[in-house]
Structure 1
Amino acid sequence: MSKTSPQPALSRTQKKPRVRLQRDAKLAVLLFFLGWVMSYADRQLITLALPYIGEDLSLTPTQQGMLISAFFVTYAIVQIPGGILVDKVGAKRTAVTGVLAWSVFTVATGTAGSFAVMLAIRALFGIGEGVYPAASVKAVAERTSSEQRMTATGWMYSSNAVGTIVAAVAGAALIGAIGWQGAFFILGAVGVLVAVAIGFFLPNARADSTAAIEVEEQSDSMITSKDLFRSPALWGHVAMFFGYGVVAWGMSAWVPSYLVDARGIPLGVVATAAVIPVLAGGVASVLGGRLVDRLGGRHRLIIIPGMLASIVTLAMMTQELPVPVFVTLIGLLSFFSGMCYMPVFSSPVRGLPTAVVGTAYATISTGSQVGGILTPTIMGVVVENVSWEAAFGVLIAGCVICLVAAMLVPRGPEEFFATFTRRQTVTPDGA
């Protein structure tokens, strides 16, 4: 017997007035904001310490690069299993375990005395961090209404910019004062304190957090992880975030080298200028989250103009421009693309029951991680064999992928949710 599809909740959602985040939601955002600050500070610290680590452990440039890659490989691999774990054992327990684990491995980084040991530690570090994204998003989703969800998540993710700056300022100061080993000890210890804070002070989930769209009382249908993995709509969002990741990771990996190698800009100037796109991206993630909530989760209204503006900006960056103009364009690109960050997740996070939000978020997040693995290498090959201008074309291709995927997936949370209920109507019990 076919299951009855729930009535669309769009009209109810549109009529609800905009409300401010409640105290419990604000506290949850603050706690996971701090967790993300430590996540980015810990993972960025090694890039600052790498020259000293290489000297002390007698590492080749290839081995130093492998230490960075070890994190990204395990971080990407664990995304989907981590999301499933979050949905099975709970966001709070998984988050606390993840923060404790990566903090312990941050401390352990300072004790490594050989390349093999360091490589293993950084791979384990990636596993600890890999379960945190889904846990943090699910925890915030359980403590906010659907109308606030992307706003709250946007504030949480503005921490990425703060963490990067903390690593650049505090990390560099610590390395200079107490050495790279001591810097890892300090950041790891602070991470343990953050894990304890989440464990003790995270408020309970909302009583009405079981569904993002209030439809479960109208239907006995349940969405499972298997339903998610068979959903073309979800994989469309994965493609969207892959395109976004191509732009984000390509910029962070190669723009500094372009400025130093192709334009002859001193590294110190490049490091200072790097603050501009970091801050622009942080502001954009907050604005993108607030705006997509105001628009009822309709991501196309932000992603389409955002990616079109990014394409225009990248096309301008291929020209021989004065360095101040080029740096300004980097900031604009970070802002335009950063506005698309939260909207990529809006339909799944707002439209799905929170019981599967962890798995959905982690699956989509994997798209960006794949982009992070592939893009730096592809751009390096293009730079070596063609030109820098052609390498920026790789970033434009990422914008196009995100843009096309945004136009193909359902336009909002209700339509996204309806794709699952229609499937259940046609194939009872998800068979």
Structure 2
Amino acid sequence: MTHDELMNEARDAVIFTLPLFETARMRAATAPRRHGALGEAGDTPGSTMRWVNHMTHTQRLLGPEDRHVVSPNNDTLYNTTWLDLSRGPVLIEVPDMGERYWTLGFLDMWTNPFAYAGRRTTGNRAQRLFVHGPHWQGQRPDATVPIAVPGDDAWIIGRILVEDDAADMARVRGLQADHAILRADGSGQRAAHVFDTSLDGRVTAAPGAELYRRVVLAVLARNAAPAADADALASALSFLRPQSPEHHEAFAEALAEVHAQLRGAVQASDVGGGWSVPVLVRESFGQDYLTRARVARNLIGALGMEEAMYVMGEVDESGQALDGHHAYELRFGPGEAPQVDAFWSLTMYRRSDCMLVDNAIGRCSVGDRTRGLRYEADGSLCVRIQATDPGPAHNWLPAPAEPFYLALRLYQPREAHLQMRFAYPPLRRVD
């Protein structure tokens, strides 16, 4: 095998396995160190022990100061749960959610969004979810919603829509407090226990090859690849357990290279006007390993498109990368706003780190729920996207004075979006 052939196989191995590492990193970064009733998971500040089978909640909308999750939304409060089902099933209790939008999105360690509970799928009335792994056998409790997890581990990302005011925040916090994760053995006891995540999730740079191999192999042992991935897995294992110094060196080089390329690459428009739809997954990425890896690196935690679509703006209508040294305009004409059954929002991110942008007016996003927006006489909504204040006559989404990208989120999108028939207005440079 030539060096070029070896490098190509090493890159493929990284692309195939990268979701396992990124999900494990997210578990280490976001699984709680402390349980309110049971105390600390570890006995030292640097411990990698975390609580699993325990739901945690954000108590405010995320902002520029929050740096654990790439491309977070600025619309909902999050619930986060890391499941370990190797000890048996769990019951998740959800209170009556009224008429509010909410969802619990279940992702496997390969980042496939394989199941949901929520407004769209299981409704808003009080419910109990029976969640089990691949090795469980038995009788499911009556009046429960079954959710089968393909591996021993899973990530639940919950979203609850909230108004940015104290009264609604208080209502949602009350709903959060009424969620519970219990053992499924009828004891009524908490399912929470301590789990060793084995790495420091705060480090977001490309990992070293030895750390990457160790983490990926540990996750893989508990979360098997689908049978259809047998060839890709066999090739990847030759680098995860390198058979020669050449394999070791090629993998280390490919690891740094792929991480940089996935983070820095600008995705060209594929739906017109500067917009692209990088995530067209419903329940599984299948064999589209490159898209899966890019999403894991830049949009980890993305839901399937029937629950939420992510329409990304990385270039303007002429194909030039968006940059805060220029000014742009986005105009939704009369009747041309996104078509959704829940809500939509347009959020700003820095290209360099995929984080929300601090700005003078504290606005990270605009959408159909944003207060104080100005509509034109014919009903058009025009948004000015730039680093400097365009003045009170404009709706301003502040940009950083550097490269940036936009995420147009569509929660419960309608058929025009799902069938790729919607005409997205162009991202037009105006300076």
Question: Larger % of strand: which?
Answer: 2
User: What is the TM-score of this pair, normalised by structure 2?
Assistant: 0.30
TM-score (norm 1): 0.30
